[in-house]
A and B are shown apart, each in its own frame.
Chain A
Amino acid sequence: MKKIIKYVIIDILRNKIVLAYTVFLLLISVTIFNLEDNSAKGLLSLLNIILIIVPLVSMLFSAIYVYNSSEFLELLVSQPLKRKTIWLSLFMGLAASMAFAFFIGAGIPILLYEATPTGFMMLGTGLLLSVIFVAIAMLAAVMARDKAKGIGVVILLWLYFSIIFDGLILFVLFQFADYPLEKIMVGAVAFNPIDLSRILILLKMDVSALMGYTGAIFKDFFGAQTGLIISFCVLITWIVIPAWLSLRKFNHKDL
Chain B
Amino acid sequence: MKKIIYIAVLVLVVHTLSAKTIRIGKQQQVKTIQQGLLLAADGDTVLVDPGHYHEKNLLINKSIFFIGINHPVLDGDHTYEIISIKANRVLVDGFKVVHSGISSIEDYAGIKMYSCRDVVIRNNILEDTFFGIYTQYGTNCTIEKNTLVSFSKEEQQSGNGIHCWKADSMRIIANNITGHRDGIYFEFVTNSIIWRNISEKNMRYGLHFMFSNNDAYISNVFKNNGAGVAVMFSNHVKMIHNYFEENWGDGAYGLLLKEISDSYIETNHFVKNTAGIFMEGASRIQVEKNVFEANGWAMKIQASCMDVTVVHNNFKGNTFDVGTNGSLVLNSFNNNYWDKYEGYDLNRDKLGDIPYRPVSLYAMIIEQNPPAMILFRSLMTSLLDKTEKILPSLTPENLKDEHPLMKPLPL
Q: A52-B379, A211-B252 known; A218 and B374 CB under 8 Å?
A: yes
Which chain B residues numbered 367 to 400 have a C-beta less than 8 Å away from chain A? Answer: 368-383
Chain A residue at smallest Cβ distance from B272: A208
Q: Let me know if A198 and B377 touch, CB within 8 A.
A: yes
Chain B residue at smallest Cβ distance from A165: B380
Q: Let me know if A174 and B369 touch, CB within 8 A.
A: yes
Name B295's contact: one of A51, A169, A208 (CB within 8 Å): A208
In this complex, how many residues of chain A approach chain B with their Cβ under 8 Å: the count is: 39
Q: Let me know if A170 and B375 touch, CB within 8 A.
A: yes
Q: Let me know if A208 and B371 touch, CB within 8 A.
A: no
Minimum C-beta distance from B340 to chain A (A): 9
Minimum C-beta distance from A98 to chain B (A): 20
Minimum C-beta distance from B92 to chain A (A): 40
Quick check: is A40 within 8 A (CB to CB) of the other chain? Answer: yes
Chain A residue at smallest Cβ distance from B408: A37
Residues of B within 8 A of A (CB): 248-252, 272-274, 294-297, 316-317, 319-320, 339, 365, 368-383
Quick check: is A206 within 8 A (CB to CB) of the other chain? Answer: yes
Quick check: is A199 within 8 A (CB to CB) of the other chain? Answer: yes
Q: Let me know if A208 and B294 touch, CB within 8 A.
A: yes
Q: Let me know if B320 and A207 touch, CB within 8 A.
A: no
Complex Cα spacing A218 to B373, Å: 9
Question: Which of A6-14, A101-109, A117-125, A177-185 lies at the interface with chain B?
Answer: A177-185
Q: A40-B294, A52-B379 known; A211 and B373 CB under 8 Å?
A: no
Q: Let me know if B376 and A202 touch, CB within 8 A.
A: yes
Q: Let me know if A166 and B379 touch, CB within 8 A.
A: yes
B-chain residues with CB within 8 Å of residue A214 when the two chains form the complex = 370-371, 373-374
Complex Cα spacing A235 to B214, Å: 58
Q: Let me know if A163 and B369 touch, CB within 8 A.
A: no
Name A177's contact: one of B272, B369, B380 (CB within 8 Å): B369
Quick check: is A189 within 8 A (CB to CB) of the other chain? Answer: yes
Chain A residue at smallest Cβ distance from B382: A48
Q: A212-B274, A214-B371, A218-B373 known; A38 and B378 CB under 8 Å?
A: no
Q: Let me know if A185 and B294 touch, CB within 8 A.
A: no
A-chain residues with CB within 8 Å of residue B371 when the two chains form the complex = 173, 181-182, 185, 214
